[in-house]
Amino acid sequence: MSGAIAVFGASSGSLNGEYYEAAREFGVQLAEHGKALVFGGGDTGIMGAAARGAHEAGGRVIGVIPEALHLPGIAYSKCDELIVTRDLRDRMERMAELADGFCVMPGGFGTMYELFEVL
């Protein structure tokens, strides 16, 4: 996919609010520059904030979520495209196929896993 950027970051809502606002603004900027957002498909945390920002600015949002997390209240329901994968490893492979670049934002061990997986 030309012009798609994947974002990795915390799925929790327990970080300082400025991080979520920065993620939302990142999503806005992607959309304003004609880039699609590829993310882990969750409604919360850094990635959910980025997805909401991209939508606010009229951008395309592609979620990639493993079957185990594809549940009401967990998945971001407003994805333009939601790809459901077998597991986390398949999710990472699919995100790498879709994205032309990657942005790593604050997170924990899961975010580090995602970073090292794409490296």
pLDDT, tens digit (0-9, with 9 covering 90-100), for 24-61:
999 999 999 999 999 999 999 999 999 999 999 999 99
CB 53 within 8 A of CB 27: yes
Q: Is the pTM of this model over 0.95?
A: no
Tell me the C-alpha distance between 34 and 50, whole Å: 15
pLDDT, tens digit (0-9, with 9 covering 90-100), for 59-112:
999 999 999 999 888 999 999 999 999 999 999 999 999 999 999 999 999 999
